[in-house]
Amino acid sequence: MLDFEHTKHTLNNTKHESIAGHLEIGIAIMAENKKSENMLWGGRFTGGLDPLMIQYNESIHFDKRLYKQDILGSIAFARSNCKAGIITQDEFEKLEAGLKEVEEEWASGAFNIIPGVDEDIHTANERRLGEIIGKDVAGKLHTGRSRNEQVVTDMRMWLRDELRKLDEYLVSFLTVTAARAEKEIDYVMPGYTHLQRAQPIRWSHWLLSYGFAFQDDLNRLRQVIRRVNRNALGCGALAGNPFGIDRDSMMEELGFEGMMWNSMGAVGDRDFVTETLQWGAMLMQHISRWAEDLILYSTAEFGFVRLADAYSTGSSLMPQKKNPDSLELLRGKSGRAFGNMAGFMMVQKGLPSTYNKDLQESWEAMLDHVKTVGDSIQIAEGVLATLDTKPEKMKAALDPFMLATDVADYLVRKGVPFRETHHISGRCVALSEQTGIPMNELSYEQMKSIDERFEEDIAATFDYEKSVEMRSAKGGTSKKTVLEQIEVLRKML
């Protein structure tokens, strides 16, 4: 039977613990009342926040990366307010000097974040500015400005600068690709469709197939940067600025190339983040496919390449193993990049117009995405720059059956319709399989028995180097056309 008195005692204790817990929360909330006075929005609120809500709401621990952009934007805004007569020249100079001192503290690591007070980088910088130059002057910095415009301006500046770094990484990676393609242009290997041996190609042709995909990514990136690099400062919370602030001068000072023309759209817009995530997801898809090919080519079954030790790991159990972890991580992180994109698009899909706090979710996706993509490009370049190629293994993997199309092409040059030559070449393949004689070793009489139009010069068709050289139209795998592709790629950079 249940011990009723023991159960009653336990429930009472639980009840008291619960009450005590809520009292602790209540005391903490009361303590936050004073803190809310320091918040940019504190005057409207007479009660404090749940401590968990404070943590849930704060973005300082990731948007602190924007300290420099936030300070540059604040100086530009203050300068425009000075020109408009909203603050005096002396006040502007104090604001500028104070803000530069705050920037130095961030740069040196001396800035002290106050939890529960510094909810974001904007609040933190203004709070510290007030401590340095006094609240009377510091309090004028935010005149006519909203954090809605401030955050999107800072984000655009930060992202613009980071994307320019990615541009440099991609150019470097493509430079290595072109150099390697030129150096190893004489290596001939199997080309694959459906992962089945198809036709002979140059190793350089394979390199450039991805090189041009990455070049397209570079072009898209440069288009994205132009759309990211547009000014939202001066738009207010949503309706615009009431003090006639000069948005053009701020745009020029902050290095923006264009203007966000509608204040409502400007503060609620995160398409520039979404487009960056979409761009990065496509780039990572290309990197993933590139990595998958090299993973296959590095296996003992292929043996075309060998990864440097710097980009490989061993097995904890099997001493002979050399695992292509760098390439597998590149392949895996493409899923992460796609997840960032899909997740943030879902956040935005049902939002009403202008600013909503949901948009804070853009931060972590953007930060993680930029780092993932940037690291991945640099790892991919390292892998390619140190890769050891095995041309003898590539050559050994070539199969006479891969010249079946060349046999068909031979008859086309004799005037036979291609659909007919395709069938004839297929019969040659069948005979080789039936007899066990490699296709290139079938006798002239055997070939003649299949079709009378074969002549003794058919033997010259079974030449892998000749096969690749025959693909001489622009974009093909002949030496001339591959060199042309290398030149075109370099000019695009």
Q: Which residues are tagged catalytic? A: 194, 315
Distances in whole angstroms, Cα of residue 7 to Cα of each of 1, 3, 17: 12, 6, 15
3-state secondary structure 248-284: HHHHHHCCCCEECCCHHHHHHCCHHHHHHHHHHHHHH
The one-character DSSP state at 357 is G
**Quick one: which H or E segment has residue 219?**
helix 203-228
CB contact at 8 A, 475 and 481: yes
User: How is residue 345 written in tokens?
Assistant: 């698009």
Backbone angles phi, psi at 67, to 5 degrees: -55, -40
Cβ-Cβ contacts under 8 Å for 56 (sequence gap 6 or more): none
CB contact at 8 A, 89 and 82: yes
DSSP, residue by residue, 90-147: HHHHHHHHHHHHHHHHHHHT-----TTT--SHHHHHHHHHHHHH-HHHHTTTTTT--H
Cβ-Cβ contacts under 8 Å for 451 (sequence gap 6 or more): 411, 424, 427
Backbone angles phi, psi at 191, to 5 degrees: -100, 150
CA atoms within 13 A on the CB side of 213: 15
**Quick one: which H or E segment has residue 430?**
helix 418-435
The one-character DSSP state at 456 is G
Residues facing 202 on adjacent strands: 188
Q: CA–CA separation, 88 vs 84, rounded Å?
A: 9
Give the SS3 label for residue 58: coil
